Amino acid sequence: MGSRLAFLLDKKGYKVFVADKVAPKERGINFPSSITFSHGNLKDTDFTDKVLKDMHVVVHLAADIGSLTYMQENQAQILTENLAIDSTLYPLMVKNNIEKIVYSSSSMVYQNSPKFPYKEEDLKDVLLPTNTYGFSKLAGEYFCKSYLEQFGLPYVIIRYHNIYGPGEDSKGEKPGDIHVIPALLEKVLKGQYPLELLGNPEATRPFTYVDDAVMASCMIVEETLKDNLEVINTDFNIGPKEATKIIDLARKIWEMFGDRRPFEYVAQKTNAITANKREMDPEKIETIIGWKPEISLEQGLKPTMEWLKNRPGKN
């Protein structure tokens, strides 16, 4: 996601600086010479201070994140990492006179939403997330708002909803170590039958193809650079209006890539803390930014499967 946004902004003529604790080659990324890459950890004060020199706008995508099993088994690490990054980054943005920040939050802040589809304004009525990652991202939103109030640092908050597409790989060997779309595609590739679904098969998700998410992010960054007052100091949900049940997703994947046997599944329980329902109203981003997703779920599944089939070192 981050590298794709960097490529697009670079292509549009912006001077892009990227900082990451993972070297590009480890992710299979080759940045052009026009993009400046710095290898280091944003928890490191000296490193982050140097990175921010002469910067104007920060797009904050850094986070410790993973799938269901990863988030369940690494709760303390996720909370520590994400809050440590924010605790280091925000004071240094003030020190270095950063003009604005675009902060990547998460749909998980809506984990306990009482209303569907929810809008950005409904967040005030949502109970705190019990998912540690979601809590850490909500805390990041409070960093944005508090640094605006005390130091006048303008922000834009964006909340991605279930991004998928080529390039996402597993963080481990367990069924929950990878997000649901690549997990199901891998199971079909390996000949699993019936398909094993982790958690509630009736849970809903608004799946967002990665290229659509990148375009939405780019449009928001550009409007931020233009000082669009409808964008500055507000928040945007990024995702489609249509939400898909996990059982319907599995059926679609089987119909597209399965071996023509009748679709069958078994549900596996999980102790991971997640949301049974995630359904958003995209009216705000459509009206203010003019963004709508262009890639349907079926269209996005095809290149994702092709990438999984041909990714190096796995097959």
pLDDT tens digit sequence for 214-272: 999 999 999 999 999 999 999 999 999 999 999 999 999 999 999 999 999 999 998 88
Domain that holds residue 191: 2-310
pTM: 0.94
What's the CATH code of the domain at 161? 3.40.50.720
Task: List, as own/partner pairs, every contact residues 80-88 make where C-beta atoms lie below 8 angstroms and the sequence separation is at least 24, other chains included.
Answer: 81/43, 82/133, 82/136, 82/137, 82/139, 82/140, 83/136, 83/139, 84/43, 85/42, 85/43, 86/139, 86/140, 86/143, 88/42, 88/43, 88/44, 88/45, 88/48
Asked if residue 237 is part of any domain, the answer here is yes
With a CB cutoff of 8 Å and minimum separation 6, the contacts of 225 are: 57
Asked if residue 315 is part of any domain, the answer here is no
Domain count, the chain: 1
b (16+ CB within 10 A) / e for 250-274: bbbbbeebbeeeeeebeeeeeebbb
pLDDT tens digit sequence for 184-202: 999 999 999 999 999 999 9
Asked if residue 61 is part of any domain, the answer here is yes
